[in-house]
Amino acid sequence: RAGLEPAVLATLRWAGLRAGELCTQPLSGLDLDAQLLTVVGKGTKQRTVPIPDVLATALDHYLHEVRPTLPTSPLLFTNPYGQQGGQPLTGRALLDLCRSAGANASITGPHTALRWRHTYASLSLARGVDLYVVSRLLGHARVETTQRYLHLDTGALSNAIRRAYP
């Protein structure tokens, strides 16, 4: 699990996948050369998520050093503790992995895949990625769903007005 954890957490952080998407992500959906991850989300809707260098590096290490030690599977991530080889990473195993990472980092609050997804969305928006782009990256059918990740403080509002009306 030690080798699996960094790759799973990096994928949650840098690709913003839902827990179910990560657990069922096929290996064939990853194109490291193009730095793209093709994801099948809710309603079997397919989307392509560009992955940054930091995630590409983590996944490259995982694929070459860790994955060969795991059971053969068509999935990107398999459960190393599954009763049969090549089983998907379960929601419970993913939750345990997130909780363990949070506890080891001494970070308070809930440790779930959703928290990592929220971090991806919130930081993308805070760094200036357009709301509609983030909505598409997350696989939301409606942009209103994405708006809950938009946290505007007074400083951000003031900066926006100064840029609009110098």
Choosing from 1, 42, 45, 148, which is the catalytic residue?
42
136 carries an active-site annotation: no
Please tell me the total number of residues recorded for the chain in this structure.
166
Give the CA count within 13 Å in the CB-facing half-sphere of 9: 17
Contact by Cβ (8 Å): 97, 38: no
111 carries an active-site annotation: yes
Q: What's the Cα-to-Cα distance from 117 to each of 2, 50, 141, 162, rounded to whole Å?
A: 21, 15, 16, 31
Choosing from 18, 47, 118, 136, which is the catalytic residue?
18
Choosing from 13, 62, 67, 117, which is the catalytic residue?
117
140 carries an active-site annotation: yes
149 carries an active-site annotation: yes
47 carries an active-site annotation: no
What is the tens place of the pLDDT at every residue in 110-152?
Answer: 888 999 999 999 889 888 899 999 999 999 999 988 888 777 6
The reported pLDDT for the residue numbered 28 is: 97
φ/ψ of residue 54, rounded to 5: -60, -40
pLDDT top residue among 64 and 102: 64
Choosing from 62, 67, 111, 120, which is the catalytic residue?
111
What is the tens place of the pLDDT at every residue in 37-78?
Answer: 999 998 889 999 999 999 999 999 999 999 998 888 899 998
Nearest of 122, 120, 116, 83 to residue 97 by alpha carbon: 116
pLDDT at 25 over 70: yes
Q: What is the DSSP string of 79-93?
A: -TT-SSTTPBPPHHH
